[in-house]
């Protein structure tokens, strides 16, 4: 559905996107995971034809060039910034943007009602956006993006500054759209969101894609070993063999077979107060690929 080949964009001496290649299949939810400044938003802007790439190509559904208005009509975008008119109500925002996509009359009214329904904003539809909470604005931002029923939905950091309740609501909306067959491209720097929503994830940093695969495959390939962390009742006696690193009563064991390690600890005569198994995640993947934590990058 989306094919990106050798995409490049430079601002002066800064290379924002440096030879990015990926493909997104129809109905797939694809994640671009990377820290701020990784080049995710610039990539999105080139995907929708707002920015002209310095090199490479973007093709939508075969040979569609997003620079053409007819191709963009099939795309919905929820920008990172809350792209809404604060002095308009939700209804007025949706009406205005719907009209730009050629919706009129009954089809426009239906689209507005549907968008308000799926984002749970019906009760506040006539209130000015400036009176909304951050979470409600995010939901309306999504509503505007989906109201014309696009084939492709581009979501650029859609949960920034959103409370947990609104975040869950947004996730449910995105999962529902995906279930309806909508192709979703989702950028985020929250690994939990990518893990929950995305079929495949591209890890991006400094304008380049470092790895691209399913979440499980990425973890298997780049996540490293699991960690078993245990807290002992008392320090082990002299001569008792303890796996891993011991610091007072805290024990940490890096292992490829965490459950075998837990069983071994239980049978070793050590008295455990707590025991936690930590599987590697996308954070570990990013750490192993870049040498930096995703949150610190």
Partner 1 sequence: MRTVWTLAKKDLLLLVRDRFGMFWVLVFPLLQATFFGAIFSGQGRGAGQISIAVVDEDRSEESRGLIERLKKSKSLTVFESNRESAATDVRRGKRVAYVAIRKGFGESSRIFMPASAELEVGIDPSRQAEAGYLQGLLMEASFGGIQQTFANPQKMQAQIRKSAEEVAAADDIPASQKAIFQFFFGAMEQFVTKLDPELFKQGAAIAPAKIESVAVRREGRSPRSSFEITFPAAMLWGVIGCTAGFAVSLVTERKSGTLLRLRVAPLTRRDVLAGKAVACCAACVGIIVLLIVLGRLVFGVRVDRPGMLAIAAMCTALCFVGLSMFISVLGRSEQGVAGASWALLLICAMLGGGMVPLIAMPGWMLRMSSVSPVKWGVYALEGAIWRDFSPAEMAMPCAILLAVGAVLFSLGVAINRRIDR
Least spacing, CB of residue 10 vs partner 1, in Å: 12
Least spacing, CB of residue 60 vs partner 1, in Å: 13
32 phi/psi in degrees, rounded to 5: -110, 110
What stretches of 12-78 adopt beta strand conformation (E)? 14-24, 29-33, 55-60, 75-78
CB contact at 8 A, 199 and 179: no
The DSSP letter of residue 236 is P
Least spacing, CB of residue 100 vs partner 1, in Å: 4
- Spell out the residues 6+ positions from residue 47 whose beta carbon is closer than 8 angstroms to its own: 2, 4, 58, 66, 75, 154, 185
Judged by beta carbon, residue 77 or residue 90, the one nearer partner 1 is 77
Judged by beta carbon, residue 58 or residue 210, the one nearer partner 1 is 58
Least spacing, CB of residue 293 vs partner 1, in Å: 29
Least spacing, CB of residue 122 vs partner 1, in Å: 22
Judged by beta carbon, residue 84 or residue 253, the one nearer partner 1 is 84
Judged by beta carbon, residue 80 or residue 225, the one nearer partner 1 is 80
Q: What count of Cα atoms within 13 Å lies in the side-chain half-sphere of residue 266?
A: 9
Least spacing, CB of residue 204 vs partner 1, in Å: 20
CA distances (Å), 34 to each of 78, 122, 180, in order? 18, 34, 27
Residues near partner 1 (CB under 8 A) are 45, 48-52, 69-70, 72-73, 75, 77, 79-85, 87-88, 92, 96-97, 99-102, 144
Least spacing, CB of residue 149 vs partner 1, in Å: 14
Tell which residue, 124, 135, 166, 141, has the closest CA to residue 85.
141
Least spacing, CB of residue 279 vs partner 1, in Å: 37
Write out the two tokens for 285.
């993947």
Judged by beta carbon, residue 49 or residue 258, the one nearer partner 1 is 49
Judged by beta carbon, residue 83 or residue 297, the one nearer partner 1 is 83
Judged by beta carbon, residue 101 or residue 171, the one nearer partner 1 is 101
Q: What is the DSSP string of 128-168?
A: BGGGS-HHHHHHHHHHHHHTT--SEEEEESTTTT--HHHHH
Strands 55-60 and 2-11: antiparallel
Whole-angstrom Cα distance, residue 154 to residue 149?
Answer: 13
Write out the two tokens for 291.
């040498």
Judged by beta carbon, residue 184 or residue 212, the one nearer partner 1 is 184
Write out the two tokens for 175.
């999962």
């Amino acid at each position: 559905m989306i094919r990106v080949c050798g995409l490049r964009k430079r601002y002066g001496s800064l290379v924002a996107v440096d030879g990015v290649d990926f493909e997104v299949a129809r109905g797939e939810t694809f994640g671009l995971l990377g820290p701020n400044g990784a080049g995710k938003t610039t990539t999105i802007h080139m995907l929708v034809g707002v920015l002209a790439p310095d090199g490479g190509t973007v093709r939508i559904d075969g040979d569609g060039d997003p620079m053409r208005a007819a191709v963009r009509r099939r795309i919905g975008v929820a920008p990172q910034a809350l792209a809404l008119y604060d002095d308009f109500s939700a209804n007025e925002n949706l009406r205005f943007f719907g009209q730009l996509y050629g919706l009129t009359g009954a089809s426009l009214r239906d689209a507005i009602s549907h968008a308000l329904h799926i984002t749970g904003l019906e009760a506040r539809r006539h209130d000015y956006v400036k009176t909304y909470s951050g979470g409600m604005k995010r939901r309306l931002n999504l509503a505007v993006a989906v109201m014309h029923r696009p084939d492709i939905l581009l979501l650029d950091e859609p949960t920034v500054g959103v409370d947990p309740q609104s975040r869950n609501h947004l996730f449910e909306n995105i999962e529902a759209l995906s279930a309806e067959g909508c192709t979703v491209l989702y950028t985020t720097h929250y690994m939990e969101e990518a893990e929950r929503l995305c079929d495949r994830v591209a890890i991006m940093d400094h304008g380049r894609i470092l790895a691209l695969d399913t979440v499980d495959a990425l973890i298997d390939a780049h996540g490293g070993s699991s960690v078993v962390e245990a807290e002992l009742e008392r320090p082990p006696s002299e001569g008792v063999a303890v796996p891993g690193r011991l610091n007072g009563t805290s024990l940490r064991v890096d292992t490829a077979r965490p459950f075998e390690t837990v069983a071994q600890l239980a049978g070793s005569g050590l008295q455990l107060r707590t025991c936690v198994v930590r599987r590697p995640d996308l954070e570990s993947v990013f750490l192993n690929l870049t040498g930096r934590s995703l949150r610190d990058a």
